[in-house]
Structures are given as structure tokens and as C-alpha cells.
Chain A
């Protein structure tokens, strides 16, 4: 075994989080694992190594998914930050109302909402796609799903953004976001069934708690995870759909010609621009990754986006090709901690892609504006200058 190669990169520097792909490529060529002394982390860069680590929960603990001790402390006891066997029960509780099985009844409603939203934007002819679609649509879906009303609905976006931001290292972005993430935590700690709309999934979670199907005082934590994990990431993916179709009209045309490519197109959007920049694990013992020695206790940073562009796994990885259908992309993670909300994310994104490809022939987009962010990589503003309707 050899010691890991090192790099002087700061993984969370503004210029890196804004455009990480050139940095990912350099790190990936250095090795499957690269030590970054500036962040005190070991980054995983290649597809096979990332998938292997995600599957191996015994060697790589989720008790350190965040890059500062305060957030890891705050997440203690959640499904996100626990290991089996504790994790197994928490995960089952979390997914009971979130699995594709549970969500089957919502498919028609979500498709109708997406179609109405897209139809209205096509009618307008020009719009700012992030506020008008990428944010508005998942906020509406998640708010209705959980049964949020009133001021909570208004806070969902900033709470969801802050919940992801604080997973970063203790930089200025994290420090500024902690009070906002705290508002979300505080609200979830005191929310009661009656605060949520009748017939909502949120009410269902409280009903499950009342009949003893899930442990006492867990309903609020589950709602916290739905909001913390399900908003900012989906906003990123939906904004990326509009941007990539705008800049790749030939790829939109392929989906228009063959609507069965909708799921493949979403897989490729997620592979090409990965919503989550870095995610943590902690090595529980001395481990060997592709012949590189990683010491017990090491903080790992999984770079999903680097693995998704690994030429060892995907041919021509820097091309956006909807026919590629990379079902095994890493953007939802993999294994016991694979994204619990991926079924809902697929419902939302497939509905948006389907509506766009049916109603729009071409989108003329202006330059995308990005702002630096620790964990979620998303577009802040995307002007759609002209819609050429189908």
C-alpha cells in the first residue's frame, strides 16, 4: 500500500464550488483517494472507489457526513448520520411515507402541477427559470405533501438552503447559515399534527406516531429531514434540466422525438451536473482503497460529481447525451444510505421533463448566474429569453 497523494486544493473555496469539474479531473488523475491538508479530508474521486465506499458502511461510518463537528453533533440520532443496526429502523420509518410505493397515489397530481406550471411559462414566453420553475415547483410539491401552510411555506426555501449549507466546513457560509438552520430545527421540534393540512403525508406521520408504528417524538425529526434534504437538492436538479436543455437543443429534440427517454434524460442531467458537491464519511479502521492506505479516523469527502465524470466508467464523460441513460450514476449515493427521497425526486423531475419536451420546441437561455455554496451546487438565476413552443 502507498500513502495517498496530496493536493493543495481548498475543496470549499469559492472558485472550486462554482466550477468544480476541472478540479475533480485533476484530483481523479492523482488517485482514487487524495489527501487535502487544507480541509483535513481525504477525497474520493473515481467511480468504483466511491461506489465501494458507499456500500461498505462497516468501514465508512455516516456519523461524520458533515465537515464540521457542530453539524455532526446536531444530526446525531437521525437516519442520515447513523449506521446499522440503528440506521435500519430509522430508515424504515423515514421511507414508510416516502418510498415509491407510498407515493404512487401522488403521481397524477404531480404531473398535473408540472404541466400547469410549464404551460403558464410557455404562455409568458420569457421568464427567470430558477424562481419560476426550479424553486416554485418542488416547494409546492413538498409543501402540499407534508401539509405546510402559512409562514412555514414562506420559509421553506431559506430553511432548506441553510440545512445543506451547514454541512460544509466552518467557513463564513456555514456560520451565517447555522441560525437559519436552527429556525428550521426549532420549528420541527414543536410542530404538532394540527399545524399540518388535513390528509397530508405530514399528518400521516403524526398518525403513525400516535398509533405506535414509529417511536415517540420522531415525527418532527422526519419532517425535518424531508425539508432539509428534499428542497435544495431538487431545486438544483430542476434548474439544471432547464439550463442543459437550453444549451443542448439537439438533446431536447431527442426527448421530443422519443418520450420514453424522459427517465434517461433525468439520469444524464444528474450525472452531468451533480447536485451534491461533497458528502462525508469517517474511516472506522485502517483501510485500503485501490492500494492507497487511508488511516483509521480519517474524514472522507465523497465527490459524487468526480465519480460521475470518471472516464474509467463512462465513455466521453464530459458530453451531455440523454441516450446514455446512466442509471448507475452516483448522484443519489448508493446502498443503505442511498437518497431516501429519490422516488419523489424522480416523480417531480420526470413530470417537468415530460411537460417541457411536449410543450417546448426550443428554449433560448441567457447566461446562468451561480453563487458559491458549500454542498449544493445549483444555478441562482437563469434567464429564459424566448420559448419556441411546440
Chain B
């Protein structure tokens, strides 16, 4: 499974990082960095939680 970020849509609210700090973080400039784009079964729930929390629907899993 892959996490896909719609970069122009991301506004840096940071709720995804709260949901899945193992997978992504906001850098010093407030830009989202996906630390792991490919996620295995073990982290699927985390990835889905991050996608669900994004308030502007900038994340999805493919």
C-alpha cells in the first residue's frame, strides 16, 4: 500500500502527523514530509488513520 500526498492541497494542519508520527512529519518550514510512502500490513491502520484525519482531504492510500 502507498500513501499519496496531493501536495498543492496540503496546508500543513499537521493532524496526520498526530495520527501517524511514524509515517510522516511537518518539517521546520511546516511542509509535510512522508517518511515512508510504502507501508506494509502492520502500518495499514496508521496510514488509514492519517488519511482520515486530514481536514482538507490531501492524503489518500493507493
B18's closest neighbor in chain A, by CB? A327
| Interface size of A in residues (CB-CB distance below 8 Å) | 19
* Interchain CB contact under 8 A, A55 and B57: yes
* Interchain CB contact under 8 A, A328 and B53: yes
Q: A92: CB under 8 A from chain B?
A: yes
B12 touches which of A55, A92, A100 (Cβ 8 Å): A100
* Interchain CB contact under 8 A, A100 and B18: no
* Interchain CB contact under 8 A, A335 and B53: no
B:1-35 near A, CB below 8 Å: 8-9, 11-15, 18-19, 29-31
Q: How large is the interface on B (under 10, 10 to 19, 20 to 34, 35 or more residues)?
A: 10 to 19
* Interchain CB contact under 8 A, A101 and B53: no
Residues of A within 8 Å of B18, CB to CB, are 327
A:74-98 near B, CB below 8 Å: 88, 92, 95
Q: A332: CB under 8 A from chain B?
A: yes
Q: How far is the CB of A366 from chain B (nearest CB, A)?
A: 35
A328 to B18, CA, bound (A): 12
Residues of A within 8 Å of B14, CB to CB, are 100
Q: A37: CB under 8 A from chain B?
A: no
* Interchain CB contact under 8 A, A88 and B13: no
A185 to B19, CA, bound (A): 40
* Interchain CB contact under 8 A, A328 and B52: yes
Residues of B within 8 Å of A95, CB to CB, are 11
Q: B45: CB under 8 A from chain A?
A: no
* Interchain CB contact under 8 A, A327 and B19: yes
Take A92-B8, A343-B11 as given contacts and tell me if A101 and B55 are in contact as well, using a CB distance cutoff of 8 Å.
no
Interface of chain A, main secondary structure? helix
Residues of B within 8 Å of A99, CB to CB, are 11-13, 30
Residues of B within 8 Å of A334, CB to CB, are 55-57
Q: A338: CB under 8 A from chain B?
A: yes
Take A92-B8, A101-B31, A104-B30 as given contacts and tell me if A343 and B13 are in contact as well, using a CB distance cutoff of 8 Å.
yes
Residues of B within 8 Å of A335, CB to CB, are 56-57
* Interchain CB contact under 8 A, A100 and B11: yes
Residues of B within 8 Å of A92, CB to CB, are 8
Residues of B within 8 Å of A177, CB to CB, are none
B:35-62 near A, CB below 8 Å: 52-53, 55-57
Q: A246: CB under 8 A from chain B?
A: no
Q: How far is the CB of B12 from chain A (nearest CB, A)?
A: 4
B32's closest neighbor in chain A, by CB? A101
Over the window 91-118 of chain A, the binary record of Cβ atoms lying under 8 Å from chain B Cβ atoms (1 yes, 0 no) is: 0100100011100100000000000000
Which 6 residue pairs of A and B lie closest in terms of their CB atoms, listed nearest first?
A: A101-B30, A99-B11, A335-B57, A101-B12, A338-B55, A338-B56
Question: Which A residues form the contact surface with B (CB < 8 A)?
Answer: 55, 88, 92, 95, 99-101, 104, 327-328, 332, 334-336, 338-340, 342-343
Question: Which B residues form the contact surface with A (CB < 8 A)?
Answer: 8-9, 11-15, 18-19, 29-31, 52-53, 55-57
Q: List 12 A-B contacts (CB under 8 A).
A: A92-B8, A99-B11, A99-B13, A100-B12, A101-B12, A104-B30, A327-B19, A335-B56, A338-B57, A340-B11, A343-B11, A343-B13
